[in-house]
């Protein structure tokens, strides 16, 4: 690998991750450049014009949630988010995200808004989805499925996967805790 990449091929030499394929990156580029993506905030509405930036693993989505209901304050512990194309195809989600710590709530009501940044690590895309955006795309196994690693690179890959798994477990635990807390209130 060159000095401009990490040992697993990622464009950020200071981070350890496996990037998505160039084809998957091209699909993201097409969706972003054609303004084809929107964020669905389940039960609250749709952010039609999110500001999206992406790299070879992460997608950062800035959007505004405008609350048009209710006319009184309600506690909100989480958002269920989906990233969809304007035609309705699911790109990512649904995923539950706490609005604050488990013991805190966000109070919302009609007339309020919240600026939000949703950061997603995309490890792979469905081949059917990729083909729907880029017809004729071939060889659609993930980069992870095509890795030919030395023993040292395999050890780094395993370390990267363990870290990502810990983050996923932590996020799932937080989502479950806020769901349980919401049910008990």
Residue 114 has pLDDT above 70, yes or no: yes
pLDDT band at 73 (very low <50, low <70, confident <90, very high): very high
Rounded CA separation 3/12 (Å): 10
- pLDDT attached to residue 3: 63
Q: Is the pLDDT of residue 169 over 70?
A: yes
Q: Mean of the pLDDT values across residues 121-137? A: 87
Edge-to-edge strands, sheet with 113-121 = 51-54, 58-66, 113-121
Token pair for 134: 């880029």
Write down the pLDDT at residue 26: 92
180: its two tokens: 């349980």
Q: Closest Cα partner for 98 from 84, 116, 111, 113?
A: 116
Say if residue 1's pLDDT is above 60.
Answer: no
Pair of tokens at residue 178: 């806020």
Instruction: Average the pLDDT over 44-70 and give the result.
Output: 93
pLDDT computed for residue 59 by the predictor: 94
Residue 2's pLDDT is 47
Structure tokens, 25: 């990156």
Closest CA to 132 of 46, 24, 13, 51: 24
Q: Of the spans 107-111, 129-133, 157-161, which averages the highest pLDDT?
A: 107-111
């Amino acid at each position: 690998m060159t000095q401009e990449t990490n040992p697993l091929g990622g464009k950020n030499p200071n981070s350890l991750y496996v990037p998505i394929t160039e084809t998957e990156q091209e699909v993201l580029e097409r969706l972003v450049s054609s303004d084809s993506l929107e964020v669905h905030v389940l039960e609250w509405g749709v952010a039609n014009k999110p500001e999206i930036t992406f790299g070879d693993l992460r997608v950062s989505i800035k959007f505004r949630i405008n609350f048009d209901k209710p006319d009184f304050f309600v506690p909100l512990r989480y958002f269920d988010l989906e990233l969809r194309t304007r035609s309705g195809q699911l790109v990512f989600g649904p995923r539950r995200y706490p609005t604050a710590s488990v013991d805190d709530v966000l109070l919302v009501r009609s007339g309020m808004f919240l600026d939000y940044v949703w950061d997603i690590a995309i490890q792979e895309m469905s081949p059917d989805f990729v083909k729907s955006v880029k017809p004729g795309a071939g060889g659609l196994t993930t980069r992870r499925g095509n890795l030919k690693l030395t023993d040292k690179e395999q050890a780094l890959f395993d370390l990267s996967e363990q870290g990502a798994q810990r983050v996923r477990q932590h996020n799932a635990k937080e989502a479950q805790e806020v769901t349980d807390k919401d049910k008990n209130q």
